[in-house]
Amino acid sequence: MTEITINTDVLVVGATSIGLKVAEEVKNLDYNVEVLKSPQDLKGLKGFAGDFTATLDSGEKKFGAIVTATDFITKPLFESYNLSPNDKIISQSDFEKLTESDSLNGTKSVVFLAGFGQEGNPLVMKRVFKSVLDLCELEDVNPYVFVNNLKVASKGLERLYKEGRDKGAIYFKLLEKPEISEDGSKLVYMDQVMRSEMELYPDLVVVEEEYVPCIDNTNLACDLNIKIAKDGLLQMDNVHRFPVDTARKGIFVAGTARRLMNEDDIATDSKVVALKIKEFLGNGTIEVPQNVAVIDGDKCAICLTCYRCCPHGAIYWQQDEAVVSALDCQACGNCASECPQDAIQLEDYKDSSINSEIEKCFADEKAPVVAFCCQNSAYEALSMASEFDFEIPESFKPIKVPCAGKVDADYILKAFSKGAAGVAVLACHPGNCKSEHGNTYAKWRVEDIKSKLEVIGVDKERVLFSTVASNMASALYGTVKDFVNKVK
Amino acid sequence: MIVAERKPFDEIKSMVKDCKKVFTVGCSTCVAVCLAGGEKEVGILNSELEIARNADGNPIEIGTATLQRQCDTEFLLELKGKIEDYDAIISMACGAGIQFLAEHYPDIPVFPAVDTTSIGINKDVGVYEERCRACGTCVLGMTGGICPVTMCAKGLYNGPCGGTNLGSCEINKDQACAWFKIHERLVKQDRLQNIMDVTPPNDWRNQIPRTTIQPAYKERCEEQKA
Ligand code: SF4
Ligand code: SF4
Ligand code: SF4
Ligand code: SF4
């Protein structure tokens, strides 16, 4: 077992409320912390977990862990109400500025619009409730709130709402958004209680805002070599991964960089991030894991395929060969099955040992069904199935793989050349692969094998790619039984 | 490999005559193997330029790097931050590498320092012979492993022509007749039947900028596009 020393300084990207909270928590754990005001202050990042080099305005600096802590930005939803802003029609943020600067003198009636431009949400409602209460402090002002669904599922929100009502705010819950004249001076709505059209002549119309992920997330994800979700947030849904972890070791994603959060969530999340950082950095010495991918430099053609395919950003190159960063490698084997030179071996799943596993499938069965089962899903589901006494057919021979992405095209063909009746590759559900795209790569590979088999005259239906969750014993049993019946 | 040869010095010198600072980029793969654009040739060219420009009383500042390959984005990005201040880049890679470099750094003029000549083989130290014109539909199986596109002056698929002359090509006594050789080899392998039927021509309409997607990657490319 080799021990190495790592850097224990932490870089927090984003001086947001989550960023500052994380910094505070991490400082309490006695690590040095540097907080960057915005993602734009990070000019580049090289290196690996425990040894990152960040390019900052002040020059290059080393860090052991990185925390992304971007916030959402707000965007007024004028268009959803067919409005354009003017001095009588303003956004929620602008209204808050007016209250802060005490510039509401002379305003008598204020209308708030929420929940029609987007599905109602507690964060939006909270701001409305607060503004209503601010207005109630002033003399002679009538706040009116026009809402669709009133979302109050957050601590203290219902209380805020009631307080406003008690102080005189009037709420209208409508099915359709009200119609507002272009200058904002007249509002027409269908009153649900009176069942008739009503009119109101406000002095000010305040339009709700939507929360959109920080626009810098895309560049940040690119700099950090992590995936960005379709909605622009810095975390993919992944049941196998702790929410604050990314696919890359030593890079964490905190709070609002991941999803919309209120202050309580932010406080909790910052503690979680700090704990995970501590778990990783420890006292600065780390045992180098042994069961990782190893590249045979002599065989490596430095084609960069492994670098491009590694879901965990664990590969780099040096002179004329690719190298695995042992701390970052999560032993998924995706690189090994993609390497055109067969130059990569996973310590626990060497090609030679998988080949002998394939060999063993034929020990008591002339034409077995060889099934490569991802250890994170299918293999689990299979053990559950046998615990539940589902009768898995004798001829079904499972081989455990660290990720479906480890299943080399060669393994499948080898099984057929030995006389397998069928080959199954059983992976995690789409979007649920612990290694981001191992299941997708496996699916593509199986498709390719199918077309190859078809050409050489083997029925392509003898190969199966299927996805399963680790707790789906019965579904897996069904899939297995059907497939075995079909090919045997 | 892709074979290239160094351009005449005067040509290179005149391409960069207006530049005060140039950055020379070598390539460690094909052009290094054929002794045209590796680290050594980069060094030689740089010295030549320095000496000549000093002699002209117009000194030049030269930066330099030799990349693993200039035909891969990742390696080209290693130049980022190093070349932006230069007036021009001189690339010693093959034509593909030069273009890819220029594509990545479109704000800086890129000049070729080599002429890309062929896809060829190594005959002796510093001696390379062309063997393939990347026709896209290889017929070597039919021709006994001798390329009619490259080796036959007329690129005939059904040869030889009437100009075949006791083993030589009619264009030049020193050039072997490809079809004579093909015939000879097929006879030796007892496969003459191979060329008895008329071979249809290659579809030369394929000579457009071609994109190759390996079959195993077709589906992923399509899905990624969608
Ligand atoms: S995929 Fe294989 S050959 Fe290519 S760089 Fe990686 S180890 Fe080298
Ligand atoms: S085993 Fe997985 S994590 Fe490790 S280097 Fe290969 S692809 Fe990356
Ligand atoms: S740039 Fe040209 S010479 Fe260099 S490795 Fe690529 S193909 Fe070969
Ligand atoms: S036929 Fe000749 S030009 Fe065409 S691919 Fe084969 S060797 Fe190359």
Strands (E) in A311-444, as ranges, are 315-318, 321-324, 344-346, 369-374, 396-401, 422-427
Same domain, B173 and B111: no
Nearest alpha carbon, ligand 1 atom 7: A300
Residue B209 counted as domain residue:
yes
CA distance A389 to A398: 16
CA distance A247 to A270: 19
Same domain, A200 and A79: yes
Residues with CB under 6 A from ligand 4: B 132-135, 138-140, 147, 149-150
> Quick check: A448 contacting B, CB < 8 Å?
yes
Same domain, A361 and A482: yes
Same domain, A169 and A42: no
pLDDT at A383: 96
CA atoms within 13 A on the CB side of A352: 3
The helix/strand/coil state of B34 is coil
Q: Which residues of B touch A43 (CB under 8 A)?
A: none
Which tokens in the block code for residue A56?
A: 């900052």
Nearest to B202 by CA among B131, B161, B150: B150
Phi, psi (5° rounding) for residue A378?
A: -60, -40
Same domain, A257 and A354: no
CA distance A353 to A448: 24
Same domain, A108 and A137: yes
> Quick check: B215 contacting A, CB < 8 Å?
yes
Same domain, B191 and B93: no
Atom of ligand 4 nearest to the CA of B135: 4
The helix/strand/coil state of A173 is strand
Residue B24 counted as domain residue:
yes
Confidence of residue B222 (pLDDT cuts 50, 70, 90): confident
The helix/strand/coil state of A179 is strand
Number of domains chain B contains: 2
- pLDDT per 10-residue tile (average), chain A, 488 residues: 92 97 98 97 95 96 98 95 94 94 86 93 93 91 93 92 95 93 93 90 96 94 92 86 94 95 94 97 93 96 96 94 96 97 96 97 97 97 95 96 97 96 97 93 96 94 97 95 96
Same domain, A148 and A82: yes
CATH number reported for the structural domain that contains residue A325 in this entry: 3.30.70.20
Q: Please compute the mean of the pLDDT values over residues B132-138 and round it to a whole number.
A: 96
Atom of ligand 3 nearest to the CA of B94: 2
> Quick check: A60 contacting B, CB < 8 Å?
no
Residue B61 counted as domain residue:
yes
Residue B96 counted as domain residue:
yes
**Global confidence as pTM:** 0.88
Same domain, A123 and A206: yes
CATH number reported for the structural domain that contains residue A164 in this entry: 3.50.50.60
Q: Which residues of A touch B82 (CB under 8 A)?
A: none
| Helices and strands in chain A: count of H runs, count of E runs | 13, 27
Question: How many angstroms separate the CA of residue B217 from the nearest CA in chain A?
Answer: 8
Q: Between B68, B74, B219, which is nearest A444 by CB?
A: B219
Q: Which structural domain range is residue B59 located in?
A: 2-118
Same domain, A153 and A169: yes
The pLDDT of residue B214 is above 90? yes
CB proximity under 8 Å: B 73-132 to A: 74
Which tokens in the block code for residue A117?
A: 């431009």
Same domain, B7 and B112: yes
The pLDDT of residue B97 is above 90? yes
Q: How far is the CA of B131 from the centre of ligand 3 (A)?
A: 17
Question: How many angstroms separate the CA of residue B142 from the nearest CA in chain A?
Answer: 22
Residue B128 counted as domain residue:
no
Query: Of A184, A211, A238, which marks where a domain is finished?
Result: A211
pLDDT at A278: 97
From B3, B5, B29, B78, the mutation candidate for ligand 3 (largest count of ligand atoms within 8 A of CB) is B29
Which 8-state DSSP code applies to residue B165? B
Same domain, A259 and A363: no
ipTM for this model: 0.87
> Quick check: A459 contacting B, CB < 8 Å?
no
Same domain, B98 and B42: yes
> Quick check: A317 contacting B, CB < 8 Å?
yes
Query: Of A348, A363, A384, which marks where a domain is finished?
Result: A348
Which tokens in the block code for residue A119?
A: 């599905």
The pLDDT of residue B226 is above 80? no
Same domain, B84 and B146: no
Same domain, A32 and A108: no
From A312, A342, A441, the mutation candidate for ligand 2 (largest count of ligand atoms within 8 A of CB) is A312
Query: Of B118, B151, B174, which marks where a domain is finished?
Result: B118
Query: Of B92, B118, B144, which marks where a domain is finished?
Result: B118
Residue B124 counted as domain residue:
no
Same domain, A6 and A57: yes
pLDDT at B223: 81
Q: What is the mean pLDDT of chain B?
A: 96
pLDDT at A295: 97
pLDDT at A194: 86
Residue B110 counted as domain residue:
yes
Using CA coordinates, name the residue in chain B closest to A43: B81
- Cβ contact, residue pair B215, A304, below 8 Å: no
Same domain, A200 and A261: no
Nearest alpha carbon, ligand 4 atom 2: B147
Query: Of B87, B118, B149, which marks where a domain is finished?
Result: B118
Amino acid at B210: R
CA distance A262 to A146: 23
Question: How many angstroms separate the CA of residue B209 from the nearest CA in chain A?
Answer: 22
Query: Of A211, A239, A262, which marks where a domain is finished?
Result: A211
pLDDT at A140: 86
pLDDT at B91: 98
Residue B79 counted as domain residue:
yes
Q: Which structural domain range is residue A343 located in?
A: 292-348
pLDDT at B19: 98
Number of domains chain A contains: 4
